[in-house]
Structure 1
Amino acid sequence: MSKIALVTGASRGLGFAIAEALAASHHVVAVARTTGALEDLDDRIQAAGGQATLAPMDITNEGAMAQLCRSIYDRWGSIDLWVHCAVHAAPLTPAAHIDPKDWAKSMSINATSMGTLIPYIAPLLGASGTAMFFDDQTTGDKFHGCYAASKAAQITLARSWARESTNTGPRVLVEVPPAMSTATRARFHPGEDRAALAHPRDVAAGLLPKLLSA
């Protein structure tokens, strides 16, 4: 049976790159809201001889996530990897001027959804699977409060899960990738020299050994 990798936030940036890289050894279940970007990913995976299942869904939709996880269970019974790259990058703003809608959306996508995803996905990973999350270096930076607070909540939950599962599994990893040439980075740092930033494909290649080591 094929090994199965679930990538949430697979339509762009690091998620796209990791999904593409994992397709060499896994059947990739790619989750994102943007159907066109997922189709581009599927084209690249198929061109390289891999296979993917596209799931154009919103991770904040609890019913959709329940249906997805049930479908995965019915088809494969379990997964080997879960890589979570989905993120919302709210506009930079002083803490005193945060828009309530930006705050609510950031918390919904970056933090609240984890309370649904982890309980649904953990049983699919079982004792031997691996989950990977990504911390951010901007926590506490000025004007990043909305984004950074929601990411901090996500990572706090991930680190708690990692400690809870040390002896029982699954293996839960939290990585801090370098600054990358992504749309999220460009939104926070317009005009930055993107040539000086790491390419997501290179970062994904560097993460594969950690993901694939038992």
Structure 2
Amino acid sequence: MIQRIALITGASRGLGAALAEDLAIRGWHVVALARTVGGLEELDDRVKALGLPGAGGLTLAPMDVTDSDAMQHLCLSIHQRWGGLQLWAHTAIHAAPLAPAGSIDAKDMAKSVATNLTATAALVPMVEPLLRAGEGQALFFDDPRAGAKFFSSYGATKAAQIAIARSWAAENAKIGPQVRILTPDPMPTATRARFFPGEDRAPLHAPRDVARRLLAGL
């Protein structure tokens, strides 16, 4: 059986970590990318602790998605080692603090643009050839906050990211790779806690359950 290869950008925690863990458990080899080394190591420990004979492996990539040179090197390494990808799941995001539009912090906006928009625009041309070679697909995750009160930085840049994904999906509808835009259930992630610090987290969905649902059929 040929092992399937997945790239998860933003894999150290939350949905990204849950996706990486679920795929590895199911026998995929996962390239797990994130800035947080500790989070990646914890992910690796969880997968190894399961001791499942059919589990795949993890390649930890402690990198910043905004570093274009690092991303180019990573994609080249994936090509040289495996030839292509069967999946790219893009969960990397910068969640700027909530603020009125009249009080947008320039540094927060710049980081939001760099992470949520510019990095996505740079990654698509790098990853597309890998997905074509591996007959793979790309997954993006919508969080429609555009126009909501206090969400200017996050809402605008997240909407721009999804706009890129929608254009890419439309362009490749007949030729591939397939690009899917999914909407996760509300989860008790660090990003959500930053937006809703006083929220009752009990009704929220566990990331591993959401990951399992989103990956159904792969």
TM-score normalised to the size of structure 2? 0.94
> Matches of residues 122-137 of structure 1 in structure 2 within 5 Å?
122-126=128-132, 128-137=135-144
Structure 1 gaps of 5+ residues are none
Q: Which amino acid aligns with 1:189?
A: F
Shift of 1:47: 2.4
Partner of 1:156: 163
Structure 1 residue 46, shift from structure 2 partner: 1.9
Q: Which residue of 2 aligns with 1:203?
A: 210
For the 8 Å contact 2:97–2:194, the answer to whether it is kept is yes
2:71 to 45, 65, 84: 65
Secondary structure of 1:53's match?
strand
Q: Does 2:104 correspond to 1:102?
A: no
Return the offset for 1:114.
1.2
SS at match of 2:202: helix
Alpha-carbon shift at residue 11 of structure 1 (Å) = 0.4
How many Å separate the matches in 1 of 2:32 and 2:122?
18
**Cα RMSD (Å):** 1.0
2:5 equivalent in structure 1: 4
Give the deviation of 1:25 after TM superposition: 2.5
Structure 1 counterpart of 2:127? 121
Which residue number in structure 1 is paired with residue 195 of structure 2? 188
> Helix, strand or coil for the counterpart of 2:179?
strand
- The reply to whether residue 145 of structure 1 matches residue 146 of structure 2 is no
Runs ≥4 in structure 1, deviation > 3 angstroms?
none
Indicate the residue corresponding to 1:90 in structure 2. Answer: 96
Is 2:25 the counterpart of 1:18?
no
Number of equivalenced pairs? 211
The 1-side partners of 2:49 and 2:80 are apart by 28
Match of 1:35 among 27, 34, 37: 37
Structure 1 residue 199, shift from structure 2 partner:
1.1
Cα drift, residue 166 of structure 1: 0.5
Partner of 1:113, secondary structure, is helix
Residue 149 of structure 2 aligns to which amino acid in structure 1? K
- Contact 2:11-2:34 at 8 Å conserved across structures: yes
Task: Check if 1:112 corresponds to 2:110.
Answer: no
Looking at structure 2, the residues matched to 162 and 63 of structure 1 have their Cα atoms a distance apart, in angstroms, of 25
Equivalent position amino acid for 1:85 in 2 = T
* Structure 2 Cα separation of the partners of residues 84 and 39 of structure 1: 19
Superposition deviation, residue 19 in structure 1: 0.4
Between the aligned residues of both structures, percent identity stands at 58
- The C-alpha deviation readout for 1:93-116, integer Å capped at 9, x for no partner, is 001100100000001000010121
SS of 2:33's equivalent in the other structure is strand
- In the alignment, residue 198 of structure 2 is paired with which amino acid? G
What stretches of structure 2 of length at least 5 have no aligned partner? Answer: none
TM-score (structure 1 length as normaliser): 0.96
1: distance between equivalents of 2:145 and 2:201? Answer: 17
Deviation, 1:138, is 2.1
SS, match of residue 178 in structure 1? coil
Task: State the secondary structure of the residue aligned to 1:194.
Answer: coil
Q: Distance in 2 between matches of 1:154 and 1:112?
A: 8
